[in-house]
Structure 1
């Protein structure tokens, strides 16, 4: 299957870079030019393996394509992966993975999309178009992510999410610290 990828160095720690990548709502839309609308499905409140999300892209305004995807890996602060459950007719398969690793005084973020198109007889033409279009899109997104990693409002929200999640993992039943 074809792949596109992009990487960027950001001047923050891998755990904070990971947290920025998982922001949601208005905070996410501050840095992610791809997202027009995004929400957790099935009553989920947090990301994690098996959690599904609905995403509408900003590609074509209000008629932009949408996708339901599912987290297939969740390994804070090093990586996250998702796969398409339902999406635009032209994708036979679509998945994305983001990795974060220490790099000098910050983090190297590497984002990758893997995809296939349908119908299969169109792949010879559609794959090069997909390489160009998705390559452009992933570069815009990772550039936006880099901007988010310098945006104090985004960083404050990511830090608050990290603190909330850390607090949740130390809480036992009845709200007592474990």
Structure 2
């Protein structure tokens, strides 16, 4: 099946940070250049499209992670995207299709995130980094 998260390549940078641009190719072949508008691990990340495919007029997204009050073993993960499609005459249909596809992608990412949260190798590496 391949990766749920499309390959993302940093442009002129070695690591993600606010202002860093990225190049992403989505699994259907759509290409997008984006920029981090916020990068505050482990709590949140925000991005905006700076150059996209024919399909998106604009696109932005964000991911936020917060502790669940009263449950130290749980984290609330929220993924949000906003976009408009082009051409305008196709937008009403294209945006419904895009919403369906992005929601499916978000659901798959959250499931992958949840699997990572219980993976012994991921947890050991997170603990090693935290202790360093």
Structure 2, unaligned runs of 5 or more? none
The one of the two structures with greater contact order (alpha-carbon pairs below 8 A, sep at least 6) is 1
Q: Is 2:98 the counterpart of 1:130?
A: yes
Alignment match, 2:121: 153
Shift of the alpha carbon at 1:157? 4.5
Structure 1, unaligned runs of 5 or more? 1-29, 168-178
Taking structure 2 as the reference length, the TM-score comes to 0.83
Q: Is 2:35 the counterpart of 1:65?
A: no
Greater share of residues in helix:
1
Alignment match, 1:175: none
Q: Is 2:48 the counterpart of 1:77?
A: no
Give the whole-Å Cα distance in 2 for the aligned partners of 1:158 and 1:111.
Answer: 21
Local SS of the residue matching 1:139: helix
Alignment match, 1:51: 20
Give the whole-Å Cα distance in 2 for the aligned partners of 1:143 and 1:65.
Answer: 23
Alignment match, 1:120: 88
4+ runs of 1 displaced by more than 6 Å?
none
Local SS of the residue matching 2:18: coil
CA deviation profile, 1:5-45 (whole Å, cap 9, x unmatched): xxxxxxxxxxxxxxxxxxxxxxxxx9x5132x222111x11
Alignment match, 2:64: 99
Taking structure 1 as the reference length, the TM-score comes to 0.63
Give the whole-Å Cα distance in 2 for the aligned partners of 1:38 and 1:66.
Answer: 10
Greater share of residues in strand:
2
Local SS of the residue matching 1:114: strand
Alignment match, 2:52: 87
Alignment match, 2:112: 144
Give the whole-Å Cα distance in 1 for the aligned partners of 2:123 and 2:30.
Answer: 29
Shift of the alpha carbon at 1:123? 1.5
Number of residue pairs aligned between Structure 1 and Structure 2: 128
Question: CA RMSD of the aligned region, Å?
Answer: 2.2
Shift of the alpha carbon at 1:76? 2.6
